[in-house]
Amino acid sequence: MNFLKRYANWLHLQWPAGKVEKLPLAGEDGETNVEGIRVVGDLTGIPLLKFSADTGAKAVRAFLEESRFEPSRDPEDKILDVAIIGGGVSGIAAAREARQKKLHFAVFESKESFSTIRNFPKGKPIFTYPTDMEPTGGMHFRSEVKEDLVEELEAQQQDAQIEPVSAKIESITRQGDHLFLNKDEGEPVVARAVVVAIGRSGNHRKLEIPGEEKDKVFNRLHDPKEFTGQKVLIVGGGDSAAEAAIALVEAGVEVTLSYRKAELTRPKPENVEKIKSLSSSSDEKLALKLETEPTAIHDDAVVLRSRQSDQEETIENDVVFALIGREPPLEFFRRSKLKVLGDRSLSFWLGMGAFVLFCFWLYHWKGGKPVPFYGYLPNWLSPNPGALSNWLQNLSGTIGSWFRDPATLLGTVSRSASTPSFYYTLAYSAVVVIFGIRRIRYRKTPYITVQTYTLMAVQVLPLFILPEIILPWLGHNGAYDSGLGKWFADTFFPSVNYDPNGREYWRAYGFILAWPLMAWNWFTAQPLWGWLIVGSIQTFVILPLIIRRWGKGAYCGWICSCGALAETLGDRHRHKMPHGPKWNRLNLLGQGILAFAILLMIVRIVGWIAGPDSLASWIFTEGASKLPLLNYGWFVDLFLAGVLGYGLYFWFSGRMWCRFACPLAALMHIYARFSRFRIFAEKKKCISCNVCTSVCHQGIDIMNFANKGLPMEDPECVRCSACVQSCPTGVLSFGRYDKEMRPVYDLLNASPVQKNENDKS
């Protein structure tokens, strides 16, 4: 038992498993599920001034590129071209852009413009990351302290003559071509497009401990000097907590900073350095209590519990600051019918259920397999593609003769096209190509271009054209009638009656898809020695070698057909993969399925040795096939990989099967623990925005490696490059350790930020 625990920990459970915060679902330039509404600023997930300004201006530009957006530009028009909700940095950046483009717009602000910044503590230093970034729209941030920043921003607002309207917007409703902004008071405002720039204006997160309601507990620090001489506890591990601690110590306050984790990784490097130096200085003004959490707040004391030893300590205290962040205003989005990441409504479950049922039918039809406890699909649910082939072959004239003659290309295709799997593979390949081209256009990095073309080529050539057209066509033209050709075909594609082309050309998938993903060249009544040799070299020699150098993603992100679909069709669904420790435990399911495949293989080999009448052969052919859960073909191949793997695609991302259940991935995870592949992180650039973690469709908590400067080595990684590509500050790079354990970076650039930096230098 102990061994299994240690094994599970070594393979999967030791890696960080942070969750992804709930935010409105926004695509490129803040696009949402409601036409005409874009989300900008902090709500896009990157809580920095420059990004807020950048996203605000970009959203207005994106509206202008939409063909449906027809601005009137008439200041007298009752309908606004653009309504901007929120007068923070992103809202004012959007307004400046709208002014520049001569649009008819208005900004609606519930408090006063830049209220978030006005609420920063007095004299708070301002960090303007990334230093090289120049936000779209030209807003600048040159100030070094809060008061100067407010003046600088006000000046830019006045320059563009922006006068926000004082109103709180409660929700947005779409009616026909127009959007109605419902105010807390008065008539709704009508607009053609809406920019939502309301920042993190939701509730402050709660400590959920006794005493939290006391007057001495605050969520925001205004003037540090008010607390001079007092004993203050700050709870939190982000920039707000770190900056408040620094400001209070400088104002002569005795500060205790409590954070539940073992290391301060989220604040900016300058803040971390300052905290470390203050906490180690001899005047003992700052006590840094890592791995602790408050359990009770009394009038003159607080109780802190150590997360390591579970022991409690009571410390004298006058004031508590709970600086553990604010919730995004999710209710605003729900009222406005804007989708929120992770929200699962009735329509979510109904839609997914219907698609799973469709996949249930599709994979039984495609595989010609009986439904457990029911039997074969009825005729009305089982359209026969052979009818089309027959019709083509019965055409009169020259064309008909081409279809009738199997030695012509048309003749071969018409025979291949008499099975459902031909249409399935054709549609699969077409989807990979169409969505692959879209991915290349959307993501625009050299890595993605080369990777996607490779995936498309592997899918179309060896996984479709080769088995469905080239191999059978060669066969019909006598290539396998004698000599080496005959040996090759007899070894790899035995003759059969059931296949319209006369041989099992589908086995050619085995040239690309390795055991145990493609188990059917191994689970045969008699050993197919050719496949056993080719497959063993693939699974036990080639895969370990390529994984050692490039990681598991060399196969899962560059070759495998399931990976091809997940990276193309699944590209826009990656953020739907659930994260967190519970889901990470499910990563071990694949190990169970791998063990099942190995057990079946052993039974199969014993059956080969003991003969077809042996118990082992009976178990394999009869026993296991009668019980759906023991029938590998039905349970693993059809139900887990097909029905659930694809059925959950648009609801839980395209990598459910790959992450949790694929037995080949389970084997490769073991190889990957010995890999030199890493995703390296330049720690000082990381702003702990969590964007990388949120786009990882293998559920990896990449931020928790990056903000500690640790190379990412979770074996689940499929090298999709989404984290590297999406990181706003270019922290991450693919690479590997050389023999001396020095990082060697990939030549193909996967980060647009790094590419821009390289192009400039």
Judged by CB under 6 A, the stretch of 73-81, 127-135, 207-215, 633-641 that binds ligand FAD is 127-135
H or E element in which residue 289 lies = strand 286-290
By CB under 6 A, the residues from 649 to 678 that bind ligand SF4 are 658, 662, 664-665
Which is closer to ligand FAD, CB of 36 or CB of 199?
A: 199
Judged by CB under 6 A, the stretch of 198-206, 329-337, 712-720, 753-761 that binds ligand SF4 is 712-720
If you ran DSSP here, which 8-state letter would residue 108 be given?
Answer: E
By CB under 6 A, the residues from 529 to 558 that bind ligand SF4 are 555-556
What does the alpha-carbon distance between residue 245 and residue 300 come to, in Å, rounded to a whole number? 20
Collapse the DSSP code of 327 into the 3-class scheme (helix H, G, I; strand E, B; otherwise coil) and give the result.
Answer: coil
Which is closer to ligand SF4, CB of 475 or CB of 642?
A: 642
The 10 Å CB-count burial string (b at 16+, else e) for 134-166 is ebbbebebebeebeebbebbeebbeeeebebee
Which is closer to ligand FAD, CB of 137 or CB of 436?
A: 137
Whose tokens are 């990412």? That residue is: 712
Judged by CB under 6 A, the stretch of 102-110, 313-321, 382-390, 749-757 that binds ligand FAD is 102-110
The 10 Å CB-count burial string (b at 16+, else e) for 446-458 is ebbeebbeebbeb
CB of 692 to ligand SF4, least distance (A): 3
Exactly one of 240, 539, 631, 653 binds ligand FAD (CB under 6 A); that residue is 240
Could you tell me which of 92, 26, 28, 82 has the C-alpha nearest to residue 56?
Answer: 92
Which is closer to ligand SF4, CB of 636 or CB of 706?
A: 706
Environment class of 737 (CB within 10 Å of its CB; exposed 0-12, middle 13-18, buried 19+): middle
Judged by CB under 6 A, the stretch of 12-20, 27-35, 306-314, 722-730 that binds ligand SF4 is 722-730
Signed CA dihedral, 747, 749, 751, 756: sign only: positive
CB of 726 to ligand SF4, least distance (A): 6
Whose tokens are 């040996």? That residue is: 487
For residue 83, how far is the Cα from the chain centroid?
A: 31
Which is closer to ligand FAD, CB of 51 or CB of 680?
A: 51
| Neighbouring C-alpha atoms within 13 Å toward the C-beta of 61 | 12
Judged by CB under 6 A, the stretch of 36-44, 406-414, 436-444, 686-694 that binds ligand SF4 is 686-694
Which is closer to ligand SF4, CB of 418 or CB of 751?
A: 751
| Neighbouring C-alpha atoms within 13 Å toward the C-beta of 229 | 1
Which tokens go with 280?
């180690």
Which is closer to ligand SF4, CB of 17 or CB of 702?
A: 702
Environment class of 219 (CB within 10 Å of its CB; exposed 0-12, middle 13-18, buried 19+): middle
Judged by CB under 6 A, the stretch of 9-17, 351-359, 542-550, 704-712 that binds ligand SF4 is 704-712
By CB under 6 A, the residues from 462 to 521 that bind ligand SF4 are 517
Which tokens go with 710?
């640790």
Asked if 115 is part of the footprint of ligand FAD (rule: CB under 6 A), the reply reads yes
Asked if 448 is part of the footprint of ligand SF4 (rule: CB under 6 A), the reply reads no
189 binds, among ligand SF4, ligand FAD, none (CB under 5 to 8 A by kind): none
Q: State how beta strands 292-297 and 301-306 pair.
A: antiparallel
Could you tell me how many residues of this chain bind ligand FAD (CB under 6 A)? 34
Strand locations in 377-483 (E): none
Asked if 87 is part of the footprint of ligand FAD (rule: CB under 6 A), the reply reads yes
By CB under 6 A, the residues from 518 to 537 that bind ligand FAD are none
CB of 419 to ligand FAD, least distance (A): 55
Asked if 720 is part of the footprint of ligand SF4 (rule: CB under 6 A), the reply reads yes
Whose tokens are 């926000």? That residue is: 164
Amino acid at site 58 = K
What size, in residues, is the chain? 761
Exactly one of 722, 736, 749, 753 binds ligand SF4 (CB under 6 A); that residue is 722
Asked if 169 is part of the footprint of ligand FAD (rule: CB under 6 A), the reply reads yes
What does the alpha-carbon distance between residue 698 and residue 714 come to, in Å, rounded to a whole number? 10
Q: Express the helix, strand and coil content of the chain in percent, nearest 5 each.
A: 50, 15, 40
Would you tell me the crossing angle of helices 543-550 and 663-672 to the nearest 10 degrees? 60
Contact pattern for ligand SF4 over residues 597 through 636, marking x by CB under 6 A? ----------------------------------------
By CB under 6 A, the residues from 273 to 312 that bind ligand FAD are none
Environment class of 633 (CB within 10 Å of its CB; exposed 0-12, middle 13-18, buried 19+): middle
Asked if 560 is part of the footprint of ligand SF4 (rule: CB under 6 A), the reply reads yes
CB of 220 to ligand FAD, least distance (A): 8
| CA distance readout (Å), 746 to 166, 447, 679 | 52, 10, 10
Which is closer to ligand FAD, CB of 128 or CB of 756?
A: 128
Q: Which residues pair with 389 in a beta bridge?
A: none
For the chain, counts of helices (H) and of strands (E): 33, 18
Task: Note every long-range contact of 624-629, with CB atoms under 8 Å and residues 24 or more positions apart, other chains counting.
Answer: 624/600, 628/372, 628/373
597 binds, among ligand FAD, ligand SF4, none (CB under 5 to 8 A by kind): none
Q: Which residues pair with 175 in a beta bridge?
A: 178
Exactly one of 11, 89, 471, 692 binds ligand FAD (CB under 6 A); that residue is 89
Asked if 512 is part of the footprint of ligand FAD (rule: CB under 6 A), the reply reads no
Asked if 563 is part of the footprint of ligand SF4 (rule: CB under 6 A), the reply reads yes
Amino acid at site 459 = Q
Which is closer to ligand SF4, CB of 84 or CB of 696?
A: 696
CB of 87 to ligand FAD, least distance (A): 5
Asked if 133 is part of the footprint of ligand FAD (rule: CB under 6 A), the reply reads no
CB of 90 to ligand SF4, least distance (A): 18
Whose tokens are 């088995």? That residue is: 467
Exactly one of 717, 733, 751, 754 binds ligand SF4 (CB under 6 A); that residue is 717
Which is closer to ligand SF4, CB of 11 or CB of 732?
A: 732
CB of 531 to ligand SF4, least distance (A): 18
| CA distance readout (Å), 566 to 458, 578, 588, 698 | 14, 16, 21, 11
CB of 6 to ligand SF4, least distance (A): 24
In the complex, the residues that contact ligand SF4 under the rule CB under 6 A are: 517, 555-556, 560, 562-563, 658, 662, 664-665, 679, 681, 686-692, 695-696, 698, 700, 702-703, 706-707, 712, 717-723, 727, 729, 731-732
